[in-house]
Amino acid sequence: MAITLFVRGLINSSIRFNAPIWQKWAPIILAYPMGNSEKANLLDDTLLKVANIYAPDEIKKTLTSSIKKENRKDGWIELSRLNCIWDEKLEAVLMRSLKSKNLEPNLFRSILGFLLQHHSQLAQDYIIRKVKSYKTDHKANQKENVAAAIQLLLAHSDEPKWEVIWGVLKEDSELVDDVIGGLAYHHESQKVFSFLSFDQLAELYLFLVKHYPLEDDPKHENGRGYAVTVRDKIGDWRDSILNFMENSGAPETCSALRGLSAELPKYEHLQYKLFRAEFNMRQKTWTPLNETELLDLFLRSDAILIDSEQHLLDAVIQSLKNLDLLLQGETPMAISLWNEWNENHKNLYRPKDENRLSDYVKTHLEKELKQRGVIVNREVEIRRGEETDIRVDAIKKTANGNIYDTVTIIIEVKGCWHRELENAMTTQLKDRYLKNNQCRVGLYLIGWFNCDKWDRKDYRYDDTPKYSLSEAKIRFENQAGSLCTEEILLKSYILNLSI
């Protein structure tokens, strides 16, 4: 209370009209603050505001003198006292000092950082000119200040002119080390992420992975303390790009992460980041069903709503159960997947090959899921992929027809005679198709032809396991369950094709 009354008395006193006195005291008021308590700061700010009204030239001269003094000893200057009197004239004073050829790096950083905190367009334009001239000349003595300027611009600016900065960083590995090393320590180091497109973020991450490989990250024992190095901070900042993308919930980030995953297939964590990004995107872009879609769900018993890979997998398995009924129903259709001929007045039967089985399943899924419109609110695409696998996509589009979400499963089809039948779920479906694909959900589909009518001269009969259909179902269901991880979901299904 006393300090407040003092301040008011000071302002209202006649001394405030005596400009020569303020001209004498202005340098002292600026150069020697009274303390760092709330009351002292209030008094300091009040005195500085009044001094700036009646002695603005002395304030500017003192500021210039202080900068020169600190520069001679490569010191540092506290500029936060200028916050309460900040204006274009003070900005001009700091810009003149900033452009001094002899300005030491410490002062360069403190002055430039203060200007950017006040959103100085002059400072931002100055940085861009400095970066462009460095790109042309590559002057070694300018590298430290250019690196500092880029760091501060990325940390503070709302419009960091990324194209200009990126053009320089890509071409100078030493400058990258200085910029990223310094930026990674800054408390606002991730601010720049929000001003880059997801494609630009993906390009930046790809560049950083090649410049700072994950394999070279420092290794630390769990539970033991360690000194954090620049390389630790760089690795953390590099990885924070993926965390930012994962949590954005934007459809565009999923596309960017798919591209990264394809570019860097050995880094399996990218698949998990994509999985999480798609999950977050679906949560944030969810929209209620329209009237037509709701009616489909209420009036059609076979209508299915797809919002995830799990839903799509469930829909495919239900369709395969329907196929099982057709294969072994009142008019069994399983015979269509057997070759039949007569030899010595005896009918002989051998299974058709895996390609015919895969085609048959694909045709059934197209009729049931795609043509009949069983899946609500998405378009379904079904196509044969590599060898015998089938890819099922359920696509959601925006009102203007652009795809913004796709859920996918891959079906690996095997005949029961396949010599790698008990291993291919791991070696082919999980470790090959799902590992090198954005899809993380797979179905291992086996055509079970084992029956008495199978021609024993067919070599494939001997290669077929001799356990029963029910035993096979349990065996492969358990195998699929054991292969599931946090990122990968696997199921098995066995079609009964006996005749």
Phi, psi (degrees; rounded to nearest 5) at 340: -125, 135
**Residues forming a β-bridge with 369:** none
**383 burial type by CB count under 10 A (0-12 exposed, 13-18 middle, 19+ buried):** exposed
Cβ distance 355 to 335 under 8 Å? no
Residues with pLDDT less than 50, the chain: 1-3, 14-16
CA 415 to chain centre: 40
Sign of CA dihedral 104, 106, 109, 112: negative
What is the predicted pLDDT for the residue at 14? 40
In sequence order, what are the residues at sequence separation of 6 or more whose Cβ sits closer than 8 angstroms to the Cβ of residue 362? 382, 383, 384, 390
Residue 492: helix, strand or coil by DSSP?
A: strand
Cα–Cα distance between 486 and 137 in angstroms, integer?
A: 51
The residue count of the chain comes to 499
Cα–Cα distance between 57 and 79 in angstroms, integer?
A: 17
What is the predicted pLDDT for the residue at 377? 65
Cβ distance 274 to 254 under 8 Å? yes
**158 burial type by CB count under 10 A (0-12 exposed, 13-18 middle, 19+ buried):** exposed
Predicted TM-score of the model (pTM) = 0.65
